[in-house]
Structures are given as structure tokens and as C-alpha cells.
Chains A and B, each alone.
Chain A
């Protein structure tokens, strides 16, 4: 199923910025400028944002409003960036976070 809602019965067509390209784990990906990184990833079918440090368990979106910090990723080399409240920009380098470091 297409993850993006084409037309919503109440909200109509989602208002989005321009389509931009970014990098996810080294591969080219697309999303709309200004939407949260997590929205672009969810639309691309990505559920895992990071793996925990000790048990290496997958984590993804939980609260989607920047409160729980479960969705943090490595963005442009910076670790622990909350993907759900960080707007997507063209050319961003987004990586799955492993533990608390960028590698």
C-alpha cells in the first residue's frame, strides 16, 4: 500500500514542500522539504531509525512529537538527532544510528 495519503476525506491533498533528494544509509532517497525526516522515511517504508547500544534492538518512531527520543538518528554526522521533529532538507545525510555513535 502507498504510504502517503493522496487525498484525505477531510484534509484534502496534503500540502507539501518541494520534492528533494537526500541520502539514507548511503543510498539516494526522496522526501518533501520541510516535512520531518521520519515522515520521509516512513513514506519510503523505513521503520528502523536506530539499534540500541547494548542489546542492538531496533527502535523507530514512538511519540512522533520529539518527546520520547526513540527515533534519533545520525544526521549530517551529528548523533541523537530527533528524526520526528527535524525538517528534511535537500542533500541531508541521514544514517541509522547504532548505539550512541555515528558508526
Chain B
């Protein structure tokens, strides 16, 4: 039986981070992962991450995955793929199926970072081909380059449903609607807004009655539900689709921890059965730690920090870390983690109906019900002026932990006081119009407006992550936050820059009075 100081199960964001911290402190470390490729779900995450510099904000998930793999390799972490851990027994004996062989290993410490599995939801026809998990759609299009379908209905307006809806649009699929049985959008409002402004309709308090089809789904019917989640007759809406995506939550995969005798609790707010863990990821079983979604559903940024903490804690457990260094490293990570866990979407506030931002501004109800901030509500947060000169319009209306806009501005125009505070303009007249804030906002919620470019027109610069990128001189229409046509528009500039990292900047010319409304562009041919 081969022995390692540290055995990590799962090569996703938590597992890789844990292994890195362990190996850094001299632990002989191995990671087993059942997949053909490492990285867990990171390589399907093509959006820019939220947070601050310490959390790798504004870097896309797959890039973070590449960085973690390189770091782990540099530290000599062994990553064994196609290796499914099928047993975790007393004395930290780890049983792994590698190909057709079953091998036994001994870990002096074990970190379980197995992540989560997608939930399903049952309705008539849910088993038809074409009804797939949202994660499956991500895997097909972002890893394998194949569109999951042409016309898609997304069930689920949490972050997964919203992010995958946007990714479907980026892959060239049509998203006919986003539906959710909940009465409010559960994910970040900015993720909803970037989907809604392209013209996708949101149906909150709606769920699927049935999917129809022969060898593949060809239609789906949704209907409104009451407070007790019962269908309201007469509210049915039928869509012709070839794909239905389910984004109805994740469940932690803690089977190995249960097998090892760790105490497990049923905590609905954490996604189901989760191990009882201390602040350093330690479970009730000696020398066994848990990190990432397996100990409670959050997202990749917190999973990476939990992994780091567990890796350091495992080093301490084995006597590899000097106490002072360890305490400092843990304190630093705990501070970073606590930053991510603040604001309206903090784990402790899940399910709460928030009425006001931390600044005391009434939140946008339209954003929660329809996926976009309406014209009346946006005035509470920002306003476009009809004067010459550039000005960033920041349509960031919820307290989420994120601040790249502040850090990228070369002229210090944007302030974000605490990490969850809404960004505010600081002497906005100094804005040079460089567009870095527009490109770096992970929520694509910043627009640059030049309120007077002559002739009664204004320029609006918006983030554009679709192909083809319209060209200078192209004619088309501007869409509002609600995805409806607001006016004719002309492309005055299309900027591509490595500093923008694939978020191209499209500047459109619109009548000056529309500068506060025009938030997306469709070429004439595409209308």
C-alpha cells in the first residue's frame, strides 16, 4: 500500500488549492480525480470571476484553472486522473479504481473535495432526450465545442441558470425563456441583466408542466405557480424548443465522508447533507478534512479559499507547519473568505427577501421579477447626463463582493468602499474613456456614455462578448435593459484589446435622450 502525507480527492478548485498549500509546506501530496481532465468545473467557467484581486477577480474561470494546475505541477503535486476514489476507510485508507484496477493507498491526512452534483426536477417528459442539466450544456459547448441545441428553455434563475443562459447565447443558441418557480431571481442581478438585455424573457413564479416530443423534446409548457407552488390554471405558456436545461440547484457529494464515519448533518441552506466541519475544514474524523462544495454549496472563489485553508490545516495536523506562519496564512485566507461571504448574497442570508441595499436604496423589484432594472428604478442608482465628455454609468444595484472596476481605473474615478458597497463615481469628469472598467466588470454592468457627440447624439460604449463583432459603420437597433428596441443605432467604434480579455467594447451612436436606455446592440440583419 503506497503512502502519502496528503491525499486529496477531487482536482477541482478546492482540491487543487488544498494540494498546493500542502505541497508548499513539504507534504508529499497526491490528488485523485475520476475525470479524464483536471480542474473540476473551472474549465467550463468562461465568465470573469467576481471578488477582488486576492480572489482572482476579473479573470475567467478556465484561466484560473490553468494557473492552479501550473502551480500544483510546479510544487510536485501528483495528479492521478481517471481515478475514482471508491472507498475511504479507517486509518485513512483510500481505495481508488484506476482503469480496471483497484488500488489501496494510505494518507496521513485526507482532504475530500468532491464537489457537488446537479439536482434534477421531475415533470412529464423530463426524461426525453434534449432535457439536460445546465452543467451538461456547459460541458458540451465550452469543453467540446458542440451546441446542446438551437432553441433552449432554461429552468432556474440562480447563478448557474443565468450564467449558462448567457453562455448559450455566446455559443449561438437561442434562449427562449428563463423560468423559475421562485418568485425572485436567485442569482446575481447583473447576471440576469446581461441575459435580459439581449431580449430573453424571464418568467418568475413559473415552472414546467410538461415537455413533449418523440425521440427528442420539441416543446415545453410552463405555467405560473401560487405561493404553495401549485399551478394556476390558465397561465400556461408553450414554447417550441429542442432543449430544456435544468439549473435547479446542486447537492454536495459527501458519500466518502459518510463512509469514513464523519458526522454529517442535513442543512438545507448548504444544499443538503454536509459534513460537520470546523473553521479549518476539519471533520469529526481525525485527519480528514473537507473543502469546497462538498461542505456546502457556494462558488469556485470560496471553494479555492476553503481548499487553501484545509491544505494549511492538514500541514499543521502533520506537524509540517510552523505555528506562527500557519496562523498568519490561515488568518489571511479567512479574511478573504469572509469578504466573499458578505453582502446580499451571503450564505447566511440565502432566501431572505432584501428590500434595501446597504446604502439604503430601495432594491430593484423589476430586476428580481423580470431580470432587468427598469428605467424608473435605475434613476435611484445612476444617471446619464446629456453633456459632452465620457462618464461611466455603473448599473450595479446589489451588494455583491466585487471591486475590479475600482482597481482598473487609471484615474481613480470609481470608489468601492467596502468590497460589497455599490461603486460610486469619484470626480467623474476625469474619466478618459479608456473603457477598462466596462471590460473588467464581471457583471457587464458598466457602460460609458458620452452624452453629447454633436447633432443631438450620444455615444454609448457597451461590453460585447458575442460573435460576429459588429463593425464601425454598421446600422442596427439599440435594445434597452428589457431587451426591447429603443431606437436606431450606428456603430461608431468596435474595440478589441488584450487588456479587455475578450470583452470587446462596442460604441454605438444613439439619439442623446436614449443614452440612459440603450444597453445592447443588434445589427440590422439580425433583427
Q: A residues bordering B, Cβ < 8 Å?
A: 1, 3-5, 7-11, 14, 16, 35-36, 39, 42-43, 47-49, 57-67, 84-85, 87
Closest to A14 in B: B145
Shortest Cβ gap from A89 to chain B (Å): 14
Interchain Cβ contacts under 8 Å between A and B, 19 examples: A1-B150, A4-B147, A7-B467, A8-B141, A8-B170, A9-B502, A14-B144, A14-B145, A39-B140, A42-B140, A47-B215, A47-B216, A48-B129, A48-B216, A49-B129, A58-B215, A62-B133, A67-B117, A84-B139
A61-B132 contact, Cβ under 8 Å, with A3-B147, A16-B145 = yes
Q: Does B172 have its Cβ within 8 Å of any Cβ on chain A? A: yes
Cβ-defined contact, B144 with A39, below 8 A: yes
Docked pose: A84 CA to B137 CA in angstroms: 12
Shortest Cβ gap from A93 to chain B (Å): 21
What are the nearest 6 A-B pairs in CB distance? A60-B129, A14-B145, A64-B136, A39-B144, A47-B129, A64-B139
Q: Which residues of A contact B466 (CB under 8 A)?
A: 9
Q: Does B142 have its Cβ within 8 Å of any Cβ on chain A? A: yes
Shortest Cβ gap from A30 to chain B (Å): 13
Cβ-defined contact, A59 with B129, below 8 A: yes
Shortest Cβ gap from A48 to chain B (Å): 5
When each residue 23-36 of chain B gets 1 if its CB lies under 8 Å from chain A and 0 otherwise, what string results? 00000000000111
Docked pose: A56 CA to B215 CA in angstroms: 11
Cβ-defined contact, B135 with A65, below 8 A: yes
Which of A8, A16, A57: most chain B CB closer than 10 A?
Answer: A8
Docked pose: A57 CA to B139 CA in angstroms: 25
Q: Does B171 have its Cβ within 8 Å of any Cβ on chain A? A: yes
Shortest Cβ gap from B106 to chain A (Å): 27
Docked pose: A39 CA to B141 CA in angstroms: 9
- If over half of A's interface residues share one DSSP class (helix, strand or loop), that class is named, otherwise mixed; here it is loop
Cβ-defined contact, A63 with B170, below 8 A: no
Closest to B502 in A: A10
Q: B residues bordering A, Cβ < 8 Å?
A: 34-36, 46, 60, 62, 117-118, 120, 127-133, 135-137, 139-142, 144-148, 150, 170-172, 214-216, 465-467, 502
Cβ-defined contact, A64 with B467, below 8 A: no
A5-B171 contact, Cβ under 8 Å, with A42-B146, A47-B215 = yes
Docked pose: A65 CA to B117 CA in angstroms: 10
Cβ-defined contact, A62 with B131, below 8 A: yes
* Set B120, B130, B140, B465: member contacting A10, Cβ < 8 A: B465
Cβ-defined contact, B131 with A58, below 8 A: no
Cβ-defined contact, B148 with A11, below 8 A: no
Closest to A50 in B: B129
Q: Which residues of A contact B214 (CB under 8 A)?
A: 58
Docked pose: A67 CA to B251 CA in angstroms: 13
Cβ-defined contact, B144 with A35, below 8 A: yes
Which of B34, B144, B172: most chain A CB closer than 10 A?
Answer: B144
Docked pose: A5 CA to B136 CA in angstroms: 16
Closest to A52 in B: B127
Docked pose: A59 CA to B135 CA in angstroms: 18
Cβ-defined contact, B60 with A10, below 8 A: yes
Cβ-defined contact, B216 with A4, below 8 A: no
Shortest Cβ gap from A47 to chain B (Å): 4
Closest to A44 in B: B146
Docked pose: A3 CA to B502 CA in angstroms: 23
Closest to B464 in A: A9
Docked pose: A5 CA to B152 CA in angstroms: 16
A9-B170 contact, Cβ under 8 Å, with A47-B215, A67-B117 = yes
* Set B128, B130, B135, B141: member contacting A63, Cβ < 8 A: B135
Q: Which residues of A contact B467 (CB under 8 A)?
A: 7-9
Q: Which residues of A contact B141 (CB under 8 A)?
A: 5, 8
Docked pose: A25 CA to B172 CA in angstroms: 30
Q: Which residues of A contact B172 (CB under 8 A)?
A: 1, 5
11 new A-B contacts at CB < 8 Å, known A8-B171, A16-B145: A3-B147, A5-B171, A14-B144, A14-B145, A47-B129, A47-B216, A58-B215, A58-B216, A63-B118, A64-B136, A65-B35
Q: Which residues of B contact A48 (CB under 8 A)?
A: 129, 215-216
Q: Which residues of B contact A5 (CB under 8 A)?
A: 141, 145-147, 171-172
Docked pose: A4 CA to B145 CA in angstroms: 6
Q: Which residues of B contact A59 (CB under 8 A)?
A: 127, 129
